[in-house]
Structure 1
Amino acid sequence: MDRPLFDDAPGSRPTTRVIVFTALGTLARLTAVLAIYFLIPMDRTMSAATVTGLTLGVLALCGIVAWQLREVTHSDYPGLRAVQALAFTLPLFILLFAAAYFLMEHGQAASFTQPLSRFDALYFSVTIFATVGFGDITAASQAARLVVTAQMVLDLVVLGFVLRMVTRAVRIGLNRRRP
């Protein structure tokens, strides 16, 4: 009989202390990633070096996801660890695209229908991820449309494949803990 996905075995649930420390650790990592996004110098125009940097960021994100999946399967509380992993990797994914949009707009002002600040680029990336599409900011150049399309496709991959892999890792972790 399968156990509920995010419900650990009776008597082995995480303590309030574990939950609080997990939440605080996740919040600290998110704060650090947001601070890096808003503070790193992004004054270069879009070039081969910035594209390479963004590509390396995507590859690093893939490595982080793989490492997170391994950590979930080996965790004492796989459901809690999965929530922590998603709460870190999804915002990191969104921030990578926000950085790309910010750099694109500053490299070619006609990339979007309005100038993008870092916050505007983050807002745009979140609206793409959430499939809301308010229409207040839209991709105007072919290159911007290509990157937005790539984000939309990768959003589906993240929502489908990555979430499936995380739930599978939780099940493996729970089965590993079974007496």
Structure 2
Amino acid sequence: MTVWRTARPWVTRTAVAAVVVTAYFVLPLDHLGPGRPVLSWTVFGLLLTCVAGLLLRQVRHVLTERPGTRPGLAIALLMVLSVHVFAAAYYALARQPGEFSGLRTRVDGLYFTVVTLATVGYGDITPRGQAARVVTVVQIGYTFVFLTAAATALSQRVRGVVLGRTGGRG
């Protein structure tokens, strides 16, 4: 039973991450985009706001060393979710002619999100239209504020667990 207790958090994390990735590839994103701009922008804004709020909540839990919480698990999964929200937005935007060059598939959307997040910028996918550029700027700002705070809190949490300062795991 001890092995399961140790492995269970990792199995849970892997399963939830797999669900997020699978959902990205199977959700009907073709219903979003240029044909339904109000719905598309509303869904994008609501998802980002929810994920940002949940990330900030988890960061607060780390900073206050709130007992009985598992912010490590939540932060990692929320970071994965935020990457997929931006990837879905890019994929939906790419259906509008002139918004992107080089972005045609969901994998392209995910790739562009990660390349932008990592500030690599290979140049093979380029935001050309104003909406694509706005979402890219939003992603960069979101990364600076929310994902940086989340990554810092996550590393602080891991450091605390390794040094034995917190009672929780993950």
Task: Please state which band the TM-score falls in when normalised by the shorter chain.
Answer: 0.7 to 0.9
Residues 20-49 of structure 1: CA deviation (Å, up to 9, x unaligned)? 111110010011111111111111324011
2:73 alignment partner, one of 77, 84, 93: 84
* CA distance in structure 1 between the aligned counterparts of 2:102 and 2:16, rounded to whole angstroms: 31
Pair 1:23-2:10 in alignment? yes
The question of whether the paired residues in 1 share the 8 Å contact of 2:56 and 2:146 is answered with no
> Residue type matched to 1:54 in 2?
F
Aligned-partner SS, 1:161 = helix
* CA distance in structure 2 between the aligned counterparts of 1:168 and 1:134, rounded to whole angstroms: 31
* CA distance in structure 2 between the aligned counterparts of 1:17 and 1:82, rounded to whole angstroms: 20
Aligned length: 157
Unaligned segments of structure 1, at least 5 residues: 1-14
> Residue type matched to 2:13 in 1?
T
Pair 1:113-2:101 in alignment? yes
* CA distance in structure 1 between the aligned counterparts of 2:102 and 2:155, rounded to whole angstroms: 39
1:96 alignment partner, one of 85, 88, 91: 85
Pair 1:32-2:25 in alignment? no
Residue 49 of structure 1: aligned partner: 39
* CA distance in structure 1 between the aligned counterparts of 2:3 and 2:51, rounded to whole angstroms: 30
> Residue type matched to 1:132 in 2?
V
Pair 1:140-2:142 in alignment? no
Shift of 1:115: 3.9
> Residue type matched to 1:119 in 2?
V
The question of whether the paired residues in 2 share the 8 Å contact of 1:102 and 1:117 is answered with yes
C-alpha RMSD over aligned residues: 2.6
The question of whether the paired residues in 2 share the 8 Å contact of 1:109 and 1:115 is answered with no
> Residue type matched to 1:97 in 2?
F
Unaligned segments of structure 2, at least 5 residues: none
* CA distance in structure 2 between the aligned counterparts of 1:136 and 1:28, rounded to whole angstroms: 32
